[in-house]
Amino acid sequence: MTDKIISAKNVELKFGRGSEEVVALKNISLEVGAGEFVSFIGPSGCGKTTFLRTVAALEKPTSGHILVNGVSPDEARTNRAYGYVFQSAGLYPWRNISKNVSLPLEIMNYSREEISKRVSESLNLVELNGFEKKFPWQLSGGMQQRASIARALSFDADLLLMDEPFGALDEIVRDHLNEQLLDLWQKTGKTICFVTHSIPEAVFLSTKIVVMSPRPGRIVDVIKSPFPSSRSLEIRDSKEFISISQRVREGLRSGYDYNENKG
Amino acid sequence: MTTMRIRAKKFLKTIAEKILPILTILFLLTVVWYFFTIYLNSAMQIDKYNKQGISWNISKLVLDTMSQERPKLPAPHQIAEEIWKTTVEKKITSKRSLIYHGSITLSSTIVGFMLGTVLGVVLAVSIVENRAMESSLMPWIIASQTIPILAIAPMIIVVLNSLGFSGLLPKALISTYLSFFPIVVGMVKGLRSPDIILVDLMKTYNSSKVDIFFKLRLPASVPFLFTSMKVAIAISLVGAIVGELPTGAVAGLGARLLTGSYYGQTIQIWSALIMASILAATLVFSIQAIGYLVSKKMGYTNEEA
């Protein structure tokens, strides 16, 4: 039981009512095991972010069951089971970097010594030590996003939910952060759910790729990656990488009706 | 040597960029003012010449229009002279000292402003934290500002007087009545300013409403509070002056304005007005300076408070 970090069965989620009704998630069944790196990929409106928010108990499914760490998402949240990283870094401008990282720890009533220990550990993991006293505006976009990852890591939850964390960054920075993230994942053994728009990013990072499609938001394909958990950017030129990318692309295309998009 | 030169250069640049534009406008205003002084006062001056049979020419006329005792529009130097006489040359305790009157108005401004700020913040917090409060209070808060203050001020004074409150408090309450409004509006906006993802982030930590308020909403609202306070303190001064008008108050800038208008003392009126605007500017700049220091301390250095 403990091996299944997330298990979803026939999860359905609707927004609005009547003619306004939008089916954001339909028939989502998925299992995520401990230590997996799962990417969710699909066009906008396919429900990948909504699914992540459902896992985080920020949205409630209309029907179906979802368990996180074997309990309901609400309970998992109370147990502080996960750290969440949003698309924008969302750092507090009035707190310096170490104060931003300590925010969840303050809310969770950690002792002062514990807080300073955990802050320096988390900043170490994202290679931001030395920037404790800097304010967010003094950091580049990539560094801000690393600080927000440190914040999500600080209370040592086993599950990391990441919603397009590198979507707003340029490709060079993104490549670098992808490598860092893989490194961090191997070091900490955390389970990561990662939402992205980018096929190479999904294929490069994941042990499992979930391809989704909009209207209604559903899973069209689940691809297991053949790559070992320790990998470098060079694998992107390999044959397997290209063939998996192709399969992802086909999955995306099959679920996507271009005419429907006009409405 | 070089640092000295750089500093001198910086200083000159500050003057050129900040002070020069202000002085230019001041100069233009003064020129326009003198023109209107001569233009508006000349009719009465010519009348006087004709009655007393004095022969005159243009230069005599121009000089005389600028030294009348009760001009329609006093010349700037007459006002400056009056201000000098009633501030520097009078004892502060004197009933004719503008500093004495100014300090009376200032004290009720400050008291009213502080009450208004506290009231505004309390209302804003209750509005943001409680939907029912928003729908029941907000329309009344807006309606309160549609009543002309000149109409309601005497009523407030009369009612409070008959309840036994006189002196500073009734005037301060008029300032409060005016100043709480921008504070409410600004603080509601400020408390709601955090991005939705920041609120969601707090939720993922399973944080309480109290945590969300003190760790997110309150600090996020600080820049909004200072912006509102700048508006609030300026209208607090207006409120205090208006509060001094209908009561037949014997002291305060409002009383100065009123007695001036009874006796046609335009120079006195204008000097009280100038004093009031100097006071207002000082107050607004003080708030701005405090806001700057606070925001710098908080780390908002790249943003204006």
> Which of A 114-153 lie inside 8 A of B, CB atoms?
135, 137
Helix or strand run (H / E) with residue B50? helix B20-52
- In this structure, the answer to whether residues B118 and B59 fall within a common structural domain is no
User: What pLDDT is attached to residue A262?
Assistant: 42
User: What pLDDT is attached to residue A263?
Assistant: 38
Q: Is the dihedral of CA A219, A221, A224, A225 positive or negative?
A: negative
Q: Is the pLDDT of residue B247 over 80?
A: no
Determine the residue among B200, B201, B298 to mutate to test chain A binding: the one whose Cβ has the most chain A Cβ atoms within 10 Å.
B201
- In this structure, the answer to whether residues B281 and B136 fall within a common structural domain is yes
- Beta-bridged to residue A71, according to DSSP, are A68
Average pLDDT over residues A197-206: 92
CATH number of the domain that B241 lies in? 1.10.3720.10
User: What pLDDT is attached to residue B304?
Assistant: 43
**B186: distance to nearest CA of chain A, Å?**
19
Higher pLDDT, B78 or B261: B78
Residue A94 φ then ψ, to 5°: -90, 5
CB contact under 8 A, A56 and B204: yes
CA gap A213, A28 in Å, rounded: 11
The answer as to whether B183 is a domain residue is yes
Q: What is the mean pLDDT of chain A?
A: 89
Min mean pLDDT across A66-70, A198-202, B54-58 is at B54-58
Decide which of 3.40.50.300, 3.90.100.10, 3.30.300.20, 3.30.300.30 is the CATH code for A1-81+189-258: 3.40.50.300
Q: Is the pLDDT of residue A256 over 70?
A: no
Q: At what angle do helices A141-153 and A97-107 cross, to 10 degrees?
A: 30
Nearest to B205 among A87, A88, A104 (CB): A104
Tell me, yes or no, if A94 comes closer than 8 A to chain B by beta carbon. yes
Confidence of residue A259 (pLDDT cuts 50, 70, 90): low
- In this structure, the answer to whether residues B43 and B161 fall within a common structural domain is no
- Beta-bridged to residue A163, according to DSSP, are A195
pLDDT tens column, A30-47: 999 999 999 999 988 888
Q: Which ipTM did the prediction report?
A: 0.85
Considering only CB atoms, which chain B residues are within 8 Å of A82? 204
Residue A192 φ then ψ, to 5°: -125, 130
Percent of chain A, pLDDT > 70?
Answer: 96
Residue A220 φ then ψ, to 5°: -105, -20
Q: In what order do the strands lie in the sheet with A63-68?
A: A22-33, A4-15, A63-68
What DSSP letter does each residue of B63-104 carry, written as one string? HHHTS-SS-SS--HHHHHHHHHHHHTSS-TTSTT-HHHHHHH
Residues in CB range of A235: below 8 A, 6 or more apart: A204, A227, A241
- In this structure, the answer to whether residues B54 and B121 fall within a common structural domain is no
Q: How distant is the alpha carbon of residue A124 from its chain centre?
A: 21
CA dihedral B2, B4, B8, B13 (to 10 degrees): 60
- Beta-bridged to residue A76, according to DSSP, are none
Look at phi and psi of residue A85 and say left if phi exceeds 0, alpha if psi is from -120 to 50, else beta. beta
Average pLDDT over residues A145-174: 90
How many domains does chain B contain in total?
Answer: 2
User: What pLDDT is attached to residue A257?
Assistant: 60
Percent of chain B, pLDDT > 90?
Answer: 57
pLDDT tens column, B85-122: 988 888 877 888 889 999 999 999 999 999 999 999 99
In the block, residue with structure tokens 């800097």: A134
Tell me, yes or no, if A110 comes closer than 8 A to chain B by beta carbon. no
**For A86, nearest residue in chain B (alpha carbons):** B197
Strands A37-41 and A208-213: parallel
pLDDT tens column, B202-221: 999 999 999 999 999 999 99
Q: Among B24, B40, B73, identify where a domain stops.
A: B73
CB contact under 8 A, A83 and B202: no
**A135: distance to nearest CA of chain B, Å?**
6
Domain that holds residue B275: 98-298
| CA distance between the termini of chain B | 35
